[in-house]
Amino acid sequence: MISPIAVNEKVHQPLGLLPGGASVSLAESGGSMASHLFIDNNKYEARGIEIAANHLRSKKSGMITATAKLVHKGKTLHLWEIKIVDEQGKLISICKLTNIILSKKQTDK
């Protein structure tokens, strides 16, 4: 679980709602952090290569939290399902994130 974030006028889109992009950003942060728990961070790094989101409920104020669940852990790909819920546990968004695991030698180019 990643730390909750506040939903307020600082993050609202023009209609006064939580923007979908904020939910996606929270989901990618959670899924990326989770992949780093499964790799040797001295030798490898995780990078997001695809994210998809379904926004199920709008949110005007309060808190949201992301929880990542590992769907597939391969040698080079991790697939995560990230659920974003509000403080009442209501599902706001559900996201799917694919991370590629790269050798740091490959990323030095």
The residues carrying an active-site annotation are 28
Q: Please, what is the end-to-end C-alpha distance for the chain in angstroms?
A: 33
60 token code pair = 């005007």
CA distances in angstroms from 66 to 33, 95, 103, listed in the order given: 11, 10, 27
